[in-house]
Amino acid sequence: MSQNLFLSGWRAAPLALALAASAASGASPATADYALLGPGFAKGQAKSEAAAAAIARARAALGRPPGAIPQLHTEGTLPGKGIREISLKAKLDHPIMLDLAIAWRATGDRAFLDQAARYLDNWAQTYQMSFNPIDETGFDRVIMAYDLTEPDLPADVRGRLDAFWRKMAVGYLDAMDAGPKNGNTNWQSHRVKLATMAAFQTGDRALIDRARTAYRRQIATNLNPDGSTFDFGERDALHYVTYDLEPLSMAALTARAHGEDWYHWRAPSGASLPGALDWLVPYARGDKTHIEFVNSKVQFDRDRAGAGQDEYAPHPWKPVASLDLYRIASLLDPQYAPLAGALERQSGRRSEAWIALFAVARR
């Protein structure tokens, strides 16, 4: 067990859940082969409000065929490009897989399991990883879908998916060790997320150790001691602050599910994930305002604005844009729950089913 394990106060709940889930599965808590959502997640929750919407979406998807393509590509593309539109359509499969998996766990209806298996296997057999983390960041939902279905899938399907996740973990870790393009930007944060979730899914301690090192390196490189991020200085946009912090929060939450505290780790400079989340809070509350992209140093931001993507033209940042970030952050630290709740009320958007169910399980 990691020396960073902590079991005091409110922090004990998610860790206790993770340890209990690992014990139920017969696996070591440190290396149990799931990424984030443990063996008991959502079981018997069919009547809960949190699961109802996911079950309804899953039921609507029972007759929908999967649509895996050999490679996704939206990063760096402008609207109207063929590969962009094809990729956006294919990416719709990812949240559908998670809905199907949650519906299976919540109801025990094998129709959901069978359709989830069909989708998962279609992607495992079709998709060829590019290791472009912007294109592939949505695979976090696919990993979580596998968390919830793995024990019940046919052996041949499990074998293909286990190889898929190992390839993802090793590929992204090797890429980060080699000093990749945009190795100090939000790209690296998304690499860290995918590598971490895939590494824990494999249960391979050597890969998990490498992922932890990559996470700490990104905290030290991307986050500043005052809480701001490298991308904010580069892009002059809070949009990219949330895009830095969401995947790092997902990585920290994944480690937390296995009894490791990555969240509170501080770089020698003093930079930390809690410090960055706190830096953004005044903007998320509306106490401070910011005009996005005015001084961006990246030409592509201006190209996108010129192509009609108004979200990349100078405009006031809207606090509700941080909703997804603070929903995830509230699972790491309950001090962010009131802010997440306020942003949810402002936006009118409910939490994703997995987030709501995770929060209920922790309570």
What are 49-82's pLDDT values in tens digits? 989 999 999 999 999 999 999 999 999 888 877 8
> Which two structure tokens, joined as six digits, stand for 224?
């500043």
Mean pLDDT of 244-250: 98
CB of 100 closer than 8 Å to CB of 59: no
Whether pLDDT at 204 is above 70? yes
Q: Residue 329: name the closest of 290, 285, 276 by CA.
A: 276
pLDDT of residue 21: 38
> Which two structure tokens, joined as six digits, stand for 89?
């359509």
The DSSP H or E segment spanning 58 is helix 49-60
> Which two structure tokens, joined as six digits, stand for 6?
């902590």
Report the alpha-carbon distance of residue 277 to residue 291 in Å, rounded.
19
**Half-sphere exposure of residue 245: CA atoms within 13 angstroms, side-chain side:** 34
Lowest mean pLDDT among 169-183, 211-225, 297-311, 341-355: 297-311
pLDDT of residue 33: 82
> Which two structure tokens, joined as six digits, stand for 281?
């809070």
pLDDT of residue 175: 97
Q: pLDDT by residue (tens digit) across 91-147?
A: 999 999 999 999 999 999 999 999 999 999 999 999 999 999 999 999 999 999 999
> Which two structure tokens, joined as six digits, stand for 159?
């074998």
Q: What band does 7 get if pLDDT is binned at 50, 70 and 90?
A: very low
pLDDT of residue 362: 74
Whether pLDDT at 188 is above 80? yes
Mean pLDDT of 137-163: 97
Whether pLDDT at 176 is above 50? yes
Report the alpha-carbon distance of residue 9 to residue 7 in Å, rounded.
7
pLDDT of residue 32: 62
**127 φ, ψ (degrees, to nearest 5):** -80, 135
Whether pLDDT at 19 is above 60? no
Q: What is the pTM of this model?
A: 0.90
Query: Measured between alpha carbons, how far apart are the two ends of the chain, in Å?
Result: 24
Q: pLDDT by residue (tens digit) across 272-331?
A: 999 999 999 999 999 999 999 999 999 989 998 998 889 999 999 999 999 999 999 999
Domains of the chain as residue ranges with CATH: 41-153 (no CATH), 202-363 (1.50.10.100)
pLDDT of residue 76: 86
The dihedral region occupied by 179, where left means phi > 0, alpha psi between -120 and 50, and beta the remainder, is left
Q: Is 229 helix (H, G, I), strand (E, B) or coil?
A: strand
CB of 44 closer than 8 Å to CB of 360: no
**Who's near 249: CB < 8 A, 6+ residues apart?**
273, 277, 325, 328, 329, 332
Residue 168 vs residues 156, 174, 184: alpha-carbon distances, Å = 19, 10, 20
